[in-house]
Amino acid sequence: MNAEELAGTIQEALEEGRTAAAPEALEAIRVKYLGRKGLLPRVMKGLKDADPSERAQLGKLANQLKQELGKLLGARKQELSGASGADAANFDYTLPGQWRQLGTRHPISRVIEDTAEIFARLGFTVAEGPDVETGYRNFEALNTPPHHPSLDAQDTFWLESGELLRTQTSPVQIRVMETQPPPVRVITPGRCYRRDTTDATHSANFHQIEGLYVDKCVSLADLKGTMAYFARELMGPSVGVRFRPHFFPFTEPSVECDFSCHVCGGKGCSVCKHSGWIEIAGAGMVDPRVFKRVGYDPAGVTGYAFGMGVERIAMVKYGIKDIRMLYDNDVRFLKQFK
Ligand code: PHE
């Protein structure tokens, strides 16, 4: 075989390699050209008898055949084996399937959503406000002037802008009343912030749900009836409520609202600290000064407001002993709440 013929044969060999459609075909090409009895050894053996003027050229071509064809066959083999992996005939049906864990609702979301749903039946809509609030809406508009002692307990994370991370959801009452005339019937769930050191029952970041009802002739009896309905719907049909006198700057009179213990039925147990009652909400009749601030006529309307801690409700409802479990994002804990 002279140099010209050999060059042509190499091109054919490469073309065969490029078009081979199965690993077996590639192997046959390798045997034919590079194998022990193939073309390459024959060319090498023939070199010593070859025309001296062609010998160098033939040697170069033999090398080209070995290198290029070897490389091409290797690459094609990989291509073909990759393709056959996806082949239905080679699919291993006994391999474990892809498993996706279904998410669950977080206890905090559950309490907020369940509460919104219960109050929706009473005609309450949901309103929201920003976490960053003005000192005016968080305190002053709620009848809490800067020198007021109750500010100390709540004085919190002030920002350089003079605004603060709201300490309660009550400023959303102000936002709602600033933007719409009475009647008003809203609940306002959201995140709040206080300068609290974290322990089993405190967190500097927590959630509240505020409620506000303003209309003609709204009374404390309406508040009590509403809270009693809410308590039964949320905790169970035998749960009752009681009011204890309290103080809030923006309600007058003010009360704290307790639910009878849903675990022991009021007899006393560890959940209710053996008192039979569980403190759930602060509430009261909206102070006329608050109405004046937002431009409502205190002689024409009355209203009640209440505010409750979402984490606290979640803890007593689901028997969670440590508030931090609500923030750890441990799926072993969270997946209990289907
Ligand atoms: N905002 C009050 C608190 O955080 C709760 C409250 C809301 C009390 C509405 C009365 C009326 O303690």
- Atom index in ligand 1 nearest the CA of residue 211 equals 9
Ligand 1 neighbour 282 (Cβ under 6 A): yes
Q: Which pLDDT value is given to residue 90? A: 74
CA angle 195, 199, 203 (to 5 degrees): 40
Torsion of CA 106, 112, 115, 116, to 10 degrees: -120
Shortest-distance atom of ligand 1 to CA 254: 10
Interval between CA 21 and ligand 1 midpoint (Å): 77
105-135 pLDDT, tens digit each: 999 999 999 999 999 999 999 999 999 999 9
Measured between alpha carbons, how far is residue 20 from residues 15, 43, 79, 82 in Å?
9, 24, 11, 15
Per DSSP, the three-state class of 84 is helix
Determine the Cα angle at 154 with ends 149 and 157, to 5°.
Answer: 130
Q: What is the pLDDT of residue 84?
A: 52
278-312 tens-digit pLDDT: 999 999 999 999 999 999 999 999 999 999 999 99
User: pLDDT averaged over the chain?
Assistant: 92
The pLDDT of residue 241 is 95
Q: Which of 197-206, 209-218, 220-229 has the lowest mean pLDDT?
A: 197-206
Fold that domain 107-334 belongs to in CATH: BirA Bifunctional Protein; domain 2 (3.30.930)
Report whether pLDDT(83) > 60: no
Statement: residue 85 has pLDDT above 90: no
Using the predicted structure, report yes or no on whether residue 1 has a pLDDT greater than 90. no
**What digits encode the pLDDT tens for the residues 313-332?**
999 999 898 999 999 999 99
pLDDT classification of 88: cutoffs 50, 70, 90: low
Structural contact between residues 306 and 231, judged by C-beta atoms closer than 8 angstroms: no
Question: pLDDT above 70 covers what percent of the chain?
Answer: 97
Q: Out of 17-21, 144-148, 278-282, 283-287, which region has the weakest mean confidence (pLDDT)?
A: 144-148
- pLDDT tens digits, residue range 35-62? 999 999 999 998 888 888 888 999 999 9
- Ligand 1 centroid, distance to 249 Cα (angstroms): 9
**What is the pTM for the complete model shown?**
0.71
Angstrom distance (rounded) from CA 56 to CA 331: 73
248 lines ligand 1 (CB under 6 A): yes
Label residue 191 by pLDDT band (50, 70, 90): very high
- Count Cα atoms within 13 angstroms, Cβ side, for 176: 24
Answer for the pair 310, 294: CB distance below 8 angstroms, yes or no: no
- Ligand 1 near 144 CB (within 6 A): no
170 alpha carbon – ligand 1 mean position (Å): 6
Asked whether 213 lines ligand 1 (CB < 6 A), one says: no
Query: For residues 223, 225, 231 and 236, what is the CA-based torsion angle, rounded to 10 degrees?
Result: 180
Residue 165 carries which side chain, given as an amino acid letter? Answer: L
Helices 3-19 and 52-64 sit at what angle, rounded to 10 degrees? 10
**CB 304 near ligand 1, within 6 Å:** no
- Taking the C-alpha atoms of residue 269 and residue 273, their distance in angstroms, rounded to an integer, is 6
